[in-house]
Amino acid sequence: MNDQMGLGTPRGPHFLRAVMEHPGRTAPPAPHGAPAPPARPPGAARVLLAAAIVAAVTGGAAGFAGAGLNAAPDPAPAALPRSSSGPVAAPGALSAVAARVLPSVVSVEARGGTGSGFVIDADGHVLTNAHVVGTGSEVTVVLDDGRREPARVIGSDTGNDLAVLQVDGVSGLTPAVLGRSRDVAVGDQVLAVGSPLGLSGTVTSGIVSAVDREVPLGRGRLTAVQTDASINPGNSGGPLVNARGEVIGVNTAILSRRGGGSIGIGFAIPVDRAANVAERIIRN
């Protein structure tokens, strides 16, 4: 399917392999030679059921009669606290966030592999992961409107797993709005946008599961934003955005069982670090 779409083979995010034990516990077998429970005589179940029905009817009648003689007024129920915050955001609110972000997101093709990226300024600079572009100096970006444009890799920082591309002479680019790392909090609603498995313009939702999570990234261990938004191969380099459509991270890695695929544990490079690296690459 990817070859038909011209998007090549998805690349990234990096997989942090983990071996998961099967959950749950089974009951232990009966000891060898233990006697089996005695069989119930035929018809015993019907006799017991009939006796239970008779007892229930008799007890219910007696209880009803007793209630008529000894009834007392029920106490008034305690008043439980209620929220006064008003209705929550409409279920369709995330569609507006996605519509705001999607024009800034691109697919990145490099040496047969694909990833994601997003426009960061009006000069045609695109931010993505270093592992998406590899060692190549030229790539192709596919814009939100389907246009395919050549781009130059103007710099990479493999230690932070970030790279900046330059798309020259292209009009109509929409830069993404960058947020601030200090504004990110556990429980914030987020969207991950990119081209998983070559499916450009894919949006998945979740929350911020943790901030400043230390994980293996780049050439060492770095802190990252953890999210349960679904992130899969091809999402690398795409933005993780908050409910205002502001970029709070660059999707770059997932924790996965053997065999790959999202299990709801993904990691994004915090936006402040990503922006600082991008600015340094552009200046130099």
Q: Omega before 13 cis (within 30°)?
A: yes
pLDDT at 62: 41
- pLDDT tens, 1-49? 444 343 445 655 655 544 333 233 333 444 444 455 555 555 444 434 3
- Higher pLDDT among residues 185 and 44, named by residue: 185
**pLDDT recorded at residue 88:** 54
User: Alpha carbon 112 to chain centroid distance?
Assistant: 26
Average pLDDT over residues 267-271: 97
Q: State the average pLDDT over residues 139-148.
A: 96
From the candidates 181, 200, 209, 236, give the one annotated as an active-site residue.
236
Whether 14 sits among the annotated catalytic residues: the reply is: no
Contact 279, 266 (CB under 8 A): no
Residue 247 has pLDDT above 90, yes or no: yes
CA–CA separation, 191 and 205 (whole Å): 4
| Three-state secondary-structure class, residue 88 | coil
> What are the tokens at 222?
């770095």
- The pLDDT > 90 percentage for the chain reads 58
Distance in angstroms (rounded) separating the CA atoms of residues 218 and 230: 21
Residues comprising the chain, all counted: 284
Is 236 assigned a catalytic role? yes
- 202-237 pLDDT, tens digit per residue, is 999 999 999 999 998 877 899 999 999 999 999 999
CATH code for residues 176-283: 2.40.10.10
pLDDT mean over 176-197: 95
Q: Does 282 score more than 70 pLDDT?
A: yes
What is the torsion angle, in degrees rounded to the nearest 10, for the CA atoms of residue 214, residue 271, residue 154 and residue 134? 40
CA distance 84 to 170: 50
Mean pLDDT of the chain: 79
β-pairing, 162-166 vs 148-157, is antiparallel
Position 189 pLDDT exceeds 90: yes
Q: Where are the domains of the chain?
A: 2-13+102-166, 176-283
Residues contacting residue 266 through CB under 8 Å, at least 6 positions apart: 13, 192, 226, 227, 228, 229, 230, 231, 251, 253, 254, 255
Q: Which residue has the higher pLDDT, 7 or 257?
A: 257
The matching CATH number, chosen from 2.102.10.10, 3.30.559.10, 2.40.10.10, 3.40.630.30, for 2-13+102-166 is 2.40.10.10
Checking if the pLDDT of 93 tops 90, the result is: no
Active-site residue 116, yes or no?
no
- Which of the given ranges, 22-26, 31-35, 76-80, 111-115, has the highest pLDDT on average? 111-115
From the candidates 131, 156, 230, 262, give the one annotated as an active-site residue. 131
- CA 254 to CA 233: how far, in whole Å? 9
Q: How many CB atoms lie under 10 A from the CB of residue 270? A: 23
Is residue 180 over pLDDT 60? yes
Check residue 28 and give its pLDDT.
40
What value does the mean pLDDT take over residues 137-158? 96
Tell me if domain 2-13+102-166 and domain 176-283 are identical in fold.
yes
Task: Given the residues 144, 157, 161, 228, select the one marked as catalytic.
Answer: 161
